[in-house]
């Protein structure tokens, strides 16, 4: 038996049994016991959370780090720094926007080599499904990616082409054979192309023009296709950044039938509404788009009833110039919103206003994302035997988002000036403090490979 090295205790510790006083004992990076508040073994360092919340570290399974290859967009050092400041202890990096993309074993090796020694939090990796890389999938899976992403529409970068239904007929049986999860950018090009003509002369500074250019049908038809392919191939399917409320009944039905389908949404779809996006404000552009108020409320209902499983950031930065903020041209600006650092306060502020609880939040931000990537026996909960990944945060303190407080590489954000509740005080990764009230400690994060 190794001695307890660290105790984190507080009056509001979130465990499987609810929220209450507890002392979390940490030994060699793992939670060795959850004991009564008073139990602090001799010789252990003690950190007091007082009345702040002690929660599992957040898991964000949708982050575009863009390194190697596009480090002027983001990078492992800056992204994981933002994560630590946001109480996020594990991120999962998307396979695209980096060059090379993580669609071959070679690409994965290059990324692993690049990421070393730069990580403030733990990082796992997605692989990618692109046309004609089926023979790489088993190799990537064996090498430790946690699952695979594909696009059904142009991805925005040429080195990560989208797949067609016939590509999926090849890839999905292989993924089903491996037992691997396929995560899907679910918009189809057909409905997007169909409205090109009608909006050709519409003003490109108008948010409405952009919204009309990415209609709900594009998502609805894509999700109908994925449900059908899920049924045909028995491959597990997850819909990323779900936005269209019209597709929720289909998802609800698919889940009810027992199909292995899950879905996520993002803070921007749960917080902003199309009606309020100013013309020219391209920092609000993402795909699929932020939709109308009524759509947002339907997403909240779906999150509450479990049709949508969890909330992740889709942190997708680019250099500010690519946002074309001066021209305000929605149609040519890069789409993507960076909120890795802000997911906890945004979701908490809006969830608590709708009567949701800290336990709901823990499910949506920690437990379910960890389950999606197969890390639910190590991360996403404060439980004996788990990594001591934790965040201490104050749920009552308000703050206003200022560009200077954002730690990812670029600070143009639709959240600047917004007021949220929930301030992260301390973040721990495997029992070591990585963020403490504005200070960062040495980058102690590690790459987490899928356990085979």
Residues found near Zn ion in the complex (CB under 5 A): 314
What span, in angstroms and rounded, lies between the C-alpha atoms of 19 and 265? Answer: 26
Q: Which of 140, 159, 224, 151 is nearest to 189 (CA)?
A: 151
Q: Any long-range contacts for 127-130 (C-beta under 8 Å, 24+ apart)?
A: 127/95, 127/102, 127/103, 128/95, 128/96, 128/101, 128/102, 128/103, 128/160, 129/103, 129/163, 129/167, 129/168, 129/171, 129/175, 129/182, 130/101, 130/103, 130/160, 130/161, 130/162, 130/163, 130/167
314 or 368: whose CB is closer to Zn ion? 314
55 or 63: whose CB is closer to Zn ion? 63
Question: Which residues have a Cβ under 8 Å from the Cβ of 283 and sit 6 or more positions away?
Answer: 323, 325, 337, 412, 413, 414
Cβ contact 340:315 at 8 Å: yes
What span, in angstroms and rounded, lies between the C-alpha atoms of 94 and 130? Answer: 13
Nearest distance, CB of residue 155 and Zn ion, angstroms:
9
52 or 316: whose CB is closer to Zn ion? 316
Cβ contact 36:75 at 8 Å: no
314 or 425: whose CB is closer to Zn ion? 314
Residue at shortest CB range from Zn ion: 314
CA 451 to chain CA centroid, Å, is 21
Nearest distance, CB of residue 63 and Zn ion, angstroms:
8
Map residue 169 onto helix, strand or coil. Answer: helix
Nearest distance, CB of residue 393 and Zn ion, angstroms:
25
Nearest distance, CB of residue 313 and Zn ion, angstroms:
9
5 or 314: whose CB is closer to Zn ion? 314
186 or 433: whose CB is closer to Zn ion? 186
Nearest distance, CB of residue 96 and Zn ion, angstroms:
8
Nearest distance, CB of residue 296 and Zn ion, angstroms:
19
What span, in angstroms and rounded, lies between the C-alpha atoms of 316 and 318? Answer: 7
Backbone angles phi, psi at 390, to 5 degrees: -145, 155
Nearest distance, CB of residue 66 and Zn ion, angstroms:
11
174 or 314: whose CB is closer to Zn ion? 314
85 or 186: whose CB is closer to Zn ion? 186
Nearest distance, CB of residue 94 and Zn ion, angstroms:
6
Would you state the structure tokens that stand for residue 62, as one six-digit string? 């949708």
Q: Which of 70, 79, 61, 285 is nearest to 158 (CA)?
A: 70
60 or 174: whose CB is closer to Zn ion? 60
185 or 407: whose CB is closer to Zn ion? 185
Nearest distance, CB of residue 62 and Zn ion, angstroms:
6
Question: Which residues have a Cβ under 8 Å from the Cβ of 71 and sit 6 or more positions away?
Answer: none
Nearest distance, CB of residue 97 and Zn ion, angstroms:
9
First vs last C-alpha separation in the chain: 27
């Amino acid at each position: 038996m190794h001695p307890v090295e660290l105790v984190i205790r507080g009056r509001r510790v979130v465990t499987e049994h609810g929220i209450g006083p507890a002392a979390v004992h940490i030994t060699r990076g793992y939670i060795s016991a959850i004991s009564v508040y008073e139990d602090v073994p001799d010789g252990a360092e003690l950190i007091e959370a007082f009345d702040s919340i002690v929660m599992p570290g957040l898991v964000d399974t949708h982050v575009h780090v863009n390194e190697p290859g596009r480090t002027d967009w983001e990078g492992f050092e800056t992204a994981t720094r933002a994560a630590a400041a946001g109480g996020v202890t594990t991120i999962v990096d998307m396979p695209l926007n980096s060059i090379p993309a993580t669609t071959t074993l070679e690409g994965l090796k290059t990324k692993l080599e690049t990421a070393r020694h730069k990580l403030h939090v733990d990082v796992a990796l997605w692989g990618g499904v692109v046309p004609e890389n089926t023979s790489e999938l088993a190799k990537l899976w064996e090498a430790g990616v946690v699952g695979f992403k594909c696009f059904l529409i142009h991805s925005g970068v040429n080195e990560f082409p989208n797949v067609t239904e016939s590509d999926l007929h090849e890839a999905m049986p292989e993924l089903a054979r491996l037992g691997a999860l396929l995560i899907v950018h679910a918009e189809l090009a057909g409905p997007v192309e169909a409205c090109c003509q009608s909006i050709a002369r519409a003003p490109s500074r108008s948010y409405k023009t952009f919204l009309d250019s990415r209609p709900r049908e594009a998502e609805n038809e894509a999700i109908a296709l994925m449900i059908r392919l899920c049924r045909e191939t028995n491959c597990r399917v997850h819909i990323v950044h779900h936005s269209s409320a019209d597709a929720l009944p289909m998802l609800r039905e698919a889940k009810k039938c027992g199909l292995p389908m899950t879905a996520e949404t993002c803070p921007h779809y749960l917080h902003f509404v199309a009606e309020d996006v100013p013309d020219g404000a391209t920092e609000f552009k993402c795909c699929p788009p932020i939709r109308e108020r009524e759509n947002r409320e339907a997403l909240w209902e779906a999150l509450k009833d479990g049709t949508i499983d969890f909330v992740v950031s889709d942190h997708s930065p680019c250099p500010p110039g690519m946002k074309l903020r001066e021209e305000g041209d929605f149609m040519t600006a890069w789409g993507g919103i960076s909120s890795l650092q802000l997911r906890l306060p945004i979701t908490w502020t809006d969830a608590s206003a709708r009567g949701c609880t800290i336990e709901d939040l823990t499910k949506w931000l920690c437990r379910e994302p960890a389950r999606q990537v197969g890390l639910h026996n190590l991360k996403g909960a404060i439980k004996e035997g788990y990594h001591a990944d934790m965040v201490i945060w104050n749920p009552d303190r308000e703050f206003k988002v200022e560009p200077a407080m954002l730690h990812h590489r670029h600070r143009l954000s639709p959240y600047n000036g917004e007021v949220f509740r929930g301030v992260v005080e301390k973040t721990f990764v495997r029992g070591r403090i990585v963020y403490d009230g504005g200070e960062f400690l040495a980058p102690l994060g590690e790459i987490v490979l899928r356990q085979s």
